[in-house]
Amino acid sequence: MDIKVLVDCKTILGEGPLWDVEEQRLYWIDSFGNKVWRATPEGKEIQTWDVPAKIGSMALRRKGGAVLSLQTGFHFLDFKTGKTELIHDPEPDKPTTRINDGKVDKKGRFIAGSMDMMESGPIGALYRLDPDLSVHKLEDGIICSNGPCWSPDGKTFYFADSWSEAISVYDYDLETGTPSNKRTFCSVKGTGGAPDGATVDAEGYVWMALVYAGEIRRYAPDGRLDRTIKMPVLKVTSVNFGGPNLDILYVTSMAKPPLPRFPEDGPLGGSLFAITGLGVKGVPEPRFAG
């Protein structure tokens, strides 16, 4: 196994690595820098797009461009013009929340949750943006939404409220886009970290960034801890498999903590990392169907 800095980009709050199998390009975001990044699997040919608010996540569209979760709601992004277009703001009456982490299910729906920007109160919610651009609330009472992802067959949904110190698992109805039967998948209490971005590999194991503890963890489908990777920074934020063979684990990190109570890092904070030699492959990320 080898861990290297792929791009020394110094993202304030790097998040959401996203490998696109069609373009053979890697995307990631700077949540507090209001920016979308793109590069080759080797970290070359870097391009960036500015967005008008804090960004929590993005997904590519089948029709071209991307769908974004911004502090001001769901938006489209046109890569050619750099312009964004509002789809819907589900929380216009909550000035202290923003939409955070999100991913697309196998039917092309975008699932993303909001968070309390002070990370203290359960005022966030989990939403589903359908291809017809309707928005549906799936759950509420969330402090910080993170790590939505699905089993390879799409029938099991994983999601974390980071400050619950646990990942939850749900049954997922692919026909309706509805999670149910919520239960605890695994706990990270006592680690000094919180569950952040996550992905699932081709074997159905869950990979999760343990932010503030500087670890990447792999969990078996039954919730058993299978592997731990110590990272050279504490504030690792999210993971996604990519590269031509889907066998490179891309890892984002943050240069500055979002709140004063969180730990500082060394000079590698904010870098985009690539981990090779894991002997594991990921699964392609679906595109939003709207």
The pLDDT tens digits for 135-146 are 999 999 999 999
CATH number of domain containing 240:
2.120.10.30
Residue 259 has pLDDT above 90, yes or no: no
- Give a yes or no: residue 290 inside a domain: no
Name the residues annotated as catalytic: 196
The pLDDT tens digits for 150-167 are 999 999 999 999 999 999
Residue with tokens 């990979």: 207
Least confident piece of the model among 25-29, 30-34, 254-258: 254-258
196 marked as binding residue:
yes
- Give a yes or no: residue 282 inside a domain: no
Residue 260 has pLDDT above 80, yes or no: no
240 marked as binding residue:
no
- Give a yes or no: residue 289 inside a domain: no
- Give a yes or no: residue 286 inside a domain: no
Domain range enclosing 118: 2-276
- Give a yes or no: residue 281 inside a domain: no
- The pTM (predicted TM-score) of the whole model is 0.97
Report the pLDDT value the prediction gives residue 262, as an integer from 0 to 100.
74
- Give a yes or no: residue 90 inside a domain: yes
- Give a yes or no: residue 105 inside a domain: yes
Could you give the CA distance from residue 80 to residue 206 in angstroms, rounded to a whole number? 34
Residues 6+ away with beta carbon under 8 Å from 120: 143
- Give a yes or no: residue 178 inside a domain: yes
146 marked as binding residue:
yes
Report the pLDDT value the prediction gives residue 135, as an integer from 0 to 100.
98
Q: How many domains does the chain have?
A: 1
